[in-house]
């Protein structure tokens, strides 16, 4: 899908940059407003460009920013672009996210600020109730609610892009899942107080054993499912389809394993807590490892530049 790009350029360099932009195949429209920008001061260049050509433009702007830090850029996605002369390019366009768009998507959807942490807490409570009452829809709902995938992907994205945002990924992942674990532990205490069995009741998933075994053991089948979901999740982010990360979270076991760890600690079920924590750690490592594969692939085949550079 084509993108709308808006550049702010120092007036002295506008002609040079425009000349380079016009050489890029995939420019659908191009507009110039002299002196339109007040901060930073300069000219504004607006254009529609195909996703296929966007990485070429981003590399051009990255070079300009190294020479002239006052150059700024923003991208957006229009609901539609109609151009008879470029209809073939539009209809056959690819869908790719730039490094900056991936980082922005992760920041928007999963920064562990107050709202992000509260969402993880609520997801942990819902998952704990679902596990305790054998309500699979509650566990699935918690997986959809929890913004727990993107912070993990931020770690390899930052490392491979040679940008310090990987540290934020480590911190946000730790904060988010710690909040979920604590919330699940508190929920287990509340459930016990109101007479609802948690880890040993006949209504619990854990008494039945099937889901407990899946979430607390490592098998070839579970490795295959989690690895495939991890690769799919990284691809979803790289192709700018953040809405699909809910499906990735359902396929992964990040939420139930973190929840089980908290519940088992409250109940003194140390074996279950340890096994669930180990499975959670494996899930995180799979997400990081498979994301590395996708990001390196996209960096070499599509972006061909470092993050935010």
Same domain, 30 and 10: yes
50 and 181 together in one domain: no
DSSP state of 303: I
DSSP H or E segment with residue 216: helix 210-216
Domain that includes residue 282, residue range: 99-303
- The pTM score is 0.84
What are the phi and psi torsion angles at 22 (to 5°)?
A: -70, -15
pLDDT at 200 over 60: no
Residue 123 to residues 146, 153, 169, 228: CA-CA distances in angstroms? Answer: 6, 20, 19, 23
* pLDDT band, residue 198 (cuts 50/70/90): low
pLDDT-derived band at 27, boundaries 50, 70, 90: very high
Q: Packing angle between helix 254-267 and helix 136-145, nearest 10 degrees?
A: 120
Would you say residue 52 has pLDDT above 80?
yes
CB 218 within 8 A of CB 280: no
In a domain, 308, yes or no: no
* pLDDT for the residue 309: 45
**Six token digits for residue 91:** 């209809």
75 assigned to some structural domain? yes
Q: With contact defined as beta carbons under 8 Å apart, do 13 and 64 qualify? A: yes
Q: What is the pLDDT of residues 244-291, one digit of tens each?
A: 888 999 999 999 999 999 999 998 889 999 999 999 999 999 999 999
Q: What is the pLDDT of residue 203?
A: 52
Query: For 64-106, how does the pLDDT look when each residue is reduced to its tens digit (9 = 90+)?
Result: 888 888 888 899 888 888 888 878 877 887 788 888 888 888 8
Q: What share of the chain in percent tops pLDDT 70?
A: 94
pLDDT at 143: 96
Distance of alpha carbon 148 from alpha carbon 157, whole angstroms:
16
Question: Do 283 and 152 form a contact (C-beta atoms < 8 A)?
Answer: no
More confident site: 10 or 195: 10
Domain C-terminal end among 50, 66, 91: 91
Please tell me whether residues 68 and 129 are part of one structural domain.
no
Domain count, the chain: 2
**Partners of 3 in the β-ladder:** 49
Q: Are 41 and 144 part of one and the same domain?
A: no
Q: What pLDDT, in 10s, does the model give residues 117-173? A: 999 999 999 999 998 888 889 999 999 999 999 999 999 998 988 888 899 999 999
């Amino acid at each position: 899908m084509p993108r709308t790009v808006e550049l702010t350029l120092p007036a002295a360099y506008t002609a040079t940059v425009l000349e380079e932009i016009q050489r890029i195949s995939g420019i659908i429209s191009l507009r110039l407003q002299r002196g339109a920008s007040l901060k930073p001061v300069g000219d504004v260049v607006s254009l529609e460009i195909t996703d296929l050509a966007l990485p070429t433009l981003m590399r051009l702007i990255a070079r300009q920013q190294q020479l002239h830090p006052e150059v700024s850029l923003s991208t957006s996605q229009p609901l539609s672009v109609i151009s008879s002369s470029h209809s073939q390019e539009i209809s056959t366009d690819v869908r790719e996210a730039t490094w900056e768009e991936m980082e922005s998507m992760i920041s928007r959807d999963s920064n562990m600020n107050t709202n992000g942490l509260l969402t993880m807490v609520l997801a942990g409570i819902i998952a704990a109730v679902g596990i305790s009452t054998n309500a699979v829809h509650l566990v699935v709902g918690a997986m959809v609610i929890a913004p727990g995938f993107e912070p993990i992907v931020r770690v390899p994205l930052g490392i491979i892009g040679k940008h310090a945002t990987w540290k934020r990924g480590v911190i946000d992942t730790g904060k988010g899942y710690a909040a979920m674990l604590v919330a699940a532990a508190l929920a287990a205490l509340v459930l016990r107080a109101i007479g609802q069995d948690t880890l040993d009741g006949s209504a619990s998933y854990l008494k039945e054993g099937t889901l407990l075994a899946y979430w607390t053991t490592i098998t070839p089948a579970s490795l295959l499912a989690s690895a495939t979901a991890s690769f799919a999740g990284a691809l979803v982010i790289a192709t700018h389809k953040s809405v699909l990360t809910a499906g990735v979270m359902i396929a992964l076991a990040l939420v139930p394993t973190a929840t089980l760890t908290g519940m088992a600690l409250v109940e003194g079920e140390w074996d279950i807590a340890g096994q669930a924590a180990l499975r959670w750690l494996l899930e995180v490592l799979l997400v990081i490892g498979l994301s590395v594969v996708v990001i390196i692939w996209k960096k070499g085949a599509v972006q061909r530049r470092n993050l935010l550079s």
